[in-house]
Structure 1
Amino acid sequence: MALREDKIKLRAEESGGSVSPPGEGKFPSLASGPDGPDDDGDDLPFGTPGDLAGAVAGWACRLRLEDLPPEGVHVLRRVMLDVTGCALAGAGTPVARVAHSLVSRVYTSGRCHVIGQSIHLNPLGAVRLNAVACNALEFDPVVLDGSVHAAAVILPVVMAATEMTQGRPQDLMAGLAAGLEVAALIARHAGSALGRRGWSASAVAAGLGATVGGARALRLDADAAAHAVRVAALRVGVLRLAEGTAARATTLGALAEDALHASLLAAEGVIGPEGGVDGPGGVLETLAGYLPKTVVPWRELGQRWALMDPGLSFKLHPLAAPLLPAVEETARLLSTHGIPTRRVRRITVHLNPASVVGLVRTPPATMSQAQHSLAFGIGCLLTFGRVNVSHLRAQVFEGPGLIEAMERVRVLPAPAGLGDDPLIFDSHPHAAGIVVEMEGGDMVQGLCKEAVGGPGHPLDDDALEAKFVSNARFSGMDEARIRVIARRLWDLPG
């Protein structure tokens, strides 16, 4: 009781008013929320301009897994399978190994799992380390609303939150759903503006979504969850300059830790500034340039599930999204026409001029550079017949055979569009036209508007599990354990 009284006193002191004593109103609690006595939220003024934090928190705290249609629950299983596989593979990357070394020295042991490892850490350490591994390869699913990477930040947070409270799988999955939906809402309405001003839309959307998801998994009440979002809003700004570098994964690891920390602080009575998201001086004004109190239509939450419409894109190859249509169309042309790679004289790729700007043009020196190099991706096809996580190592992309293959790749901007469609990049920004020239003068060409895994070419469950198995094998996990983990994830309740 004394702890609750301290929380209430702290909140009253910070708000300059009074807060009801225990039993006479709402207060933050790790045991309330959807399964507690105060889950209706009808007396809270959600959705007023400048109170987006309260609106999304109130919605999330009332969300139950059974509120989702069965198709949405299945998408959550797919997300968990894919992100877990990415974490298993990502844990072996140099940046994740560095993070592991630092985290294991700084953070104490605890009850929270580190994905794919036998160690257990306290919640904040586990979240940071898992989020670094999940994001290390940039191979995680993309929320198509705003095209943001959010699941690889949100899942580590809701995992740790669920373990802290010894919650049920339903709490974990509801937290993941809440986090993804809120991330999609933010990205849908502010993602482009954030990007134009040099901020990472993925970080802002994922950071706020992870906080909401963590609060739901912790079963905070709506008032505490709202304050968690306001606290987290103070630290979600990440520069886009981090993209394409190893620092991206470590920064997102810190972002995930901040998201869980915000919920834990709010649970203990700490409040964040009113309007921290959409009020004067809040995230949307300061980072996205919105006018204060712009009303973000939060009532879309639960009306159109972003999990399904437009859904998520699941990557087939561990490369940056703008590269994927070009790599897949090249592979299709080589396979369909039975072209031996030794006969290929040159491959020319025609891309959206906006995509060409972000590509690595020189031979890659790091894993991140390789993932943003179209020459590397196509060079792997010519050298190995495929491209997967096993190729993202210095000894591979420094090999003379791959370097020679990369020299046969040419990338050109296509300002007039592709084929007979001058506006193709408006609807398909990553579309690619491919021309394969062979020794002797023969030539084939093709066009790919969208990579496999996008809404027009979804990755089916079998292909997604094959990706998981490949990633888990890369981590060194034995086959029996791989199959057990996959089956457990597919069998999560719904």
Structure 2
Amino acid sequence: MPGPTASEALGRFVAGSDWRDIPPALRHEAKRSLLNHIGCALGTARDPAVRTAVRVMRGLGGAPRVTVFGQSTRLDAMGAAFVNAVASNLLDYDDTHLNTVIHPAAPVAPPLFALAEQGGLSGAAILHAFLLGGEIACRIGNAVSPGHYARGWHITSTCGAFGAAAGCAKLLGLSAGQTAHAIGIASSQAAGTVENLPSAAKNVSVGNAARHGIMAAFFAAEGWEAAPAAIEGPLGWARATGDVPDVAAITEGLGERWEIGRNTYKPYPAGIVFHSVIDACLALRDRLRAPPEAIAAVSVAGDALLLARGDRVVRNERDARVSIHHSAALGLVRGHAGVADFEMPAVADPALAAFRAKVAAVLDPSLPRGAARVTVRLADGRVEEALVTTPRGSEARPMSDAELEAKFRDNAAMGGFADRAEAQIAAIWALEEAPDLSCLMGLLA
């Protein structure tokens, strides 16, 4: 007899998982992920895009029962999940699973917070559901990478819908069969395109991944079913959006090898593959001690993903956050790369614009994903080079708890919550012992 399908294997794994079996290190990583996620969402609380999302979702939703991070208003569960997903992903400052380039928390955590707050569930329940949902998103991402992204599918939005559905199914206490159907139903909702990344349409697909997870889980709870092989079948989601899927990457080692444990966090508010560019340019700036006008040309070499994402004309702040040229200019001209360095005043800065024109992107397929080699040619003929394969924040050089706390404080201050930051941080670290989310949500409203 044939073995279980991908959805069936994942359904059994999610429904059968016991919090008591989750290793302490992985539990702590869940808290780190949520600390980073909530901080990023608070940092955009005043952003017009977030305010617009609140306004639109208020007009579409039901009873306002769920907290929207950093806002004075409440929304229904699906509306709050949508807005919180958008907010946390807006600045490209959120977490990243490098192998897939999925940002797991943005689509997965918000629907879980919404359901847990609405249902009075414990902090441990949301941590557990987040680990399971993030794991499913990353495993399905592994199975379709790199062809899925290369075809133009925004993998955070597409695979995030599966993770959101699985996490919500866990919080709702669905059976293995119901959870499998929730994941299968999500296959009909998983969408989002790379072409839209420099636009607000990206925000819609990330927000939809979060709210679609709730919808898929609730439909499964009411008895709706999906095809058993909705993911990997001949006309299933994976083949429709990419190459033949690696089903083993989804199903093998469930509960033993955790992909979500490889989650990483950004020290710079830019696409993860640009962090090596920034680090290399900062190192060269420190080594050369040369003014920008003394630099004649800059060459940035990286893999195909780096060039596909970052060899672009910079017209706005969204372009800047995924630009090889802007990242190099920040490292070599300004010597820092904070949130303000990717906003419109920096995009329009004549000094940065002039320097971006000196930067050329070069394909080097021998370099691993996330690496960059930067070569600087000075006006006097000297040439200097820096190679970075493990940037700050990578799996090999992770941000410490103290660094994540400092990042949270900076984001909270941007959103107008500097006076609550310490209490918010403490409440997130204490989630595992919290009987419900009332304390944390009170601090985030």
Q: Distance in 2 between matches of 1:375 and 1:200?
A: 22
- Residues 243 and 156 from structure 1, CA distance in 2 versus in 1: closer, same or farther, beyond 3 angstroms? same
Q: 1:452 aligns with which of 365, 369, 392?
A: 392
Letter in 1 for 2:279: E
- Residues 341 and 81 from structure 1, CA distance in 2 versus in 1: closer, same or farther, beyond 3 angstroms? farther
Native 8 Å contact 2:107 2:156 kept in 1 = no
- Residues 442 and 286 from structure 1, CA distance in 2 versus in 1: closer, same or farther, beyond 3 angstroms? closer
Q: 1:219 aligns with which of 153, 156, 173?
A: 173
| More deviation, 249-258/230-239 | 230-239
1:411 corresponds in structure 2 to 360
2:307 corresponds in structure 1 to 356
- Residues 101 and 391 from structure 1, CA distance in 2 versus in 1: closer, same or farther, beyond 3 angstroms? farther
Q: 2:295 aligns with which of 345, 348, 355?
A: 345
* TM-score of the pair, normalised by structure 1: 0.81
**Structure 2: 5+ residue stretches without partners:** 434-445
Q: Distance in 2 between matches of 1:114 and 1:442?
A: 53
RMSD: 2.5
2:256 corresponds in structure 1 to 303
| Higher-RCO chain (CA-CA 8 Å, sequence separation at least 6) | 2
Determine helix, strand or coil for the equivalent of 2:267: coil
1:492 corresponds in structure 2 to 431
- Residues 56 and 369 from structure 1, CA distance in 2 versus in 1: closer, same or farther, beyond 3 angstroms? same
Determine helix, strand or coil for the equivalent of 2:360: strand
- Residues 467 and 340 from structure 1, CA distance in 2 versus in 1: closer, same or farther, beyond 3 angstroms? farther
1:193 corresponds in structure 2 to 147
How much has 1:75 moved relative to structure 2?
A: 0.7
How many pairs are equivalent?
432
Letter in 1 for 2:191: G
2:49 corresponds in structure 1 to 95
Q: 2:412 aligns with which of 450, 472, 489?
A: 472
For residues 188-227 of structure 1, the C-alpha deviation after alignment (integer angstroms, 9 at most, x for no partner) is 2222232344323333321111110111122223232222
| More deviation, 81-90/207-216 | 81-90
Q: 2:3 aligns with which of 48, 58, 61?
A: 48
How much has 1:285 moved relative to structure 2?
A: 2.9
* TM-score of the pair, normalised by structure 2: 0.89
Native 8 Å contact 2:299 2:361 kept in 1 = yes
How much has 1:438 moved relative to structure 2?
A: 4.8
Letter in 2 for 1:76: A
Letter in 1 for 2:349: G
Native 8 Å contact 1:93 1:136 kept in 2 = no
Q: Distance in 2 between matches of 1:55 and 1:163?
A: 29
Letter in 1 for 2:360: V
- Residues 452 and 296 from structure 1, CA distance in 2 versus in 1: closer, same or farther, beyond 3 angstroms? closer
Q: Distance in 2 between matches of 1:344 and 1:88?
A: 40
Higher fraction of helix: 2
Q: Distance in 1 between matches of 2:55 and 2:179?
A: 32
| More deviation, 346-355/248-257 | 346-355
For residues 31-61 of structure 1, the C-alpha deviation after alignment (integer angstroms, 9 at most, x for no partner) is xxxxxxxxxxxxxx9x934x32222122112
Q: Distance in 2 between matches of 1:145 and 1:436?
A: 29
1:432 corresponds in structure 2 to 372
Determine helix, strand or coil for the equivalent of 2:299: strand
| More deviation, 86-95/125-134 | 86-95
Letter in 2 for 1:210: A
Letter in 1 for 2:115: A
Letter in 1 for 2:117: E
- Residues 352 and 380 from structure 1, CA distance in 2 versus in 1: closer, same or farther, beyond 3 angstroms? closer
Q: Distance in 2 between matches of 1:248 and 1:467?
A: 24
Residue 318 (structure 1) aligned with residue 272 (structure 2): no
2:335 corresponds in structure 1 to 385
Q: Distance in 2 between matches of 1:127 and 1:197?
A: 27
- Residues 144 and 352 from structure 1, CA distance in 2 versus in 1: closer, same or farther, beyond 3 angstroms? closer
Kindly, what percent of the aligned residue pairs are identical?
24
1:116 corresponds in structure 2 to 70
Indicate the structure (1 or 2) with the bigger Cα radius of gyration: 1
For residues 54-83 of structure 1, the C-alpha deviation after alignment (integer angstroms, 9 at most, x for no partner) is 221221122232211111011101100111
Native 8 Å contact 1:136 1:246 kept in 2 = no
Native 8 Å contact 1:52 1:296 kept in 2 = no
**Structure 1: 5+ residue stretches without partners:** 1-44, 418-422
1:142 corresponds in structure 2 to 96
